[in-house]
Amino acid sequence: MFKWFGKQETRSTYTDHVVSALLAAATGSATDVGTTAAVQVVAGAVGRAFALASTSEKLLTPGVLTTMGTDLVRYGSTTWLIDPEGLFPVAGASLKAGNYNPKSWRYDVDLNGPHSTTTKKNVPYEDLISVRLNTDSMAPWQGVSYTTKAKTSSALTANLLKSLSDEASGPVGSFFTVPGGDLKALTADIKTAKGAALAVQGGETGFETDNRMSPQSDFVQKRFGVSTPQGTVELLKTAYEQTLNSLGVSGSLFSSTNNAGAIAAYRQFAFGLVLPLGRLVEAECSEKLETKITLDFASIRAVDVAARATGFNKLVQGGMDLEKALAISGLLQDEK
């Protein structure tokens, strides 16, 4: 009969995955969560939302705004050099001097090109557009991404995906057990299997002697390859949802099967993520470009206009001043 060699395979449990994620986060060996679909889908959605924003500032092109939006989600910051020829994205910025006052900060910045990287030294803070998220009193010069703040959940998502990716990239095929066989050749075949059926050494006795003694598994095909425990799949779904939530997005935005749930999730995305990020970009650009800059996200808010109109009507019926009700509902802003 065919004999398995080596240690028996064991499947990871929920606890194993969580502990591994904690260790990975603690040792700095966690897979980059920025490469996961959860982060990329939100970064892409925010970037496209920023591309739709209209502004009178010619330097803030749809391409520049798109990159600003995606950078803020992925890295927690976006930095641009203000140059007479336009705005140029900063690939890396090293703070070289400064005290508690940002106006004293001086940077060495790297600007990437297709064939070279240019480093500009001692660049003053005033010459950089630097939008930063999640700054705190300990490091006000440093932006931190939402997923970095939620590093345990992020590490869990990233490492689960890496584990499943490694498993899925392994050999896939079928064993076809027959009497006799060459295990050495079989071992070599397994490494290159791509859905093929491989002959596996079966029983010592052949059908010539007494077929009642032959293993019942002979001439039965048995598949090998990806075999992910359902618990791992469910854990990945939970971790994926947690990563989306840490980014300020409900999973219903991408998976809801009813319109009400999808609209509620979109409202959370627009008003809880896109518009606040837009406000930060407005403030920073207005300060550094020394002109009042407004990003108009009217097209992003349009999906919510029916709900806001209903709210406006209730406010007016309740006795609120017409103009105040328009301002609170956001309809006045849309008119402008």
Residue 101 CB: number of other CB atoms within 10 A? Answer: 8
Query: Do both 221 and 231 map to the same domain?
Result: no
Whether residues 94 and 185 share a domain: the answer is no
Residue 302 and residue 284 share a domain: no
Does some domain include residue 26? yes
Identify the domain boundary among 195, 225, 255. 225
Nearest to 73 by CA among 110, 109, 33, 31: 33
The verdict on 262 and 155 lying in the same domain is: yes
Q: Are residues 288 and 314 in the same domain?
A: no
Question: 160 and 21 in one domain?
Answer: yes
1 assigned to some structural domain: no
State the total domains in the chain: 4
DSSP letter (8 states) at residue 138: T
- Residues 68-79 as b/e (b if ≥16 CB within 10 A, e otherwise) read bbbbbbbbbbbb
In a domain, 139, yes or no: no
Instruction: Tally the residues of the chain.
Output: 336
Q: Does 255 reside within a domain?
A: yes
Q: Say if residue 194 is in the same domain as residue 271.
A: no
Domain with 105 in it:
81-132
Residue-wise pLDDT tens for the chain (336 aa)? Answer: 333 333 333 344 444 444 444 444 444 444 455 567 788 889 999 999 999 999 999 999 999 999 999 999 999 999 999 999 999 999 999 999 999 999 999 999 999 999 999 999 999 999 999 999 999 899 999 999 888 887 777 777 777 777 777 777 777 777 666 555 566 666 676 666 665 555 555 554 444 444 554 555 555 667 777 777 777 778 878 888 888 888 888 888 877 677 777 888 888 899 899 999 999 999 999 999 999 999 999 888 776 676 777 777 888 888 887 888 777 776 666 544
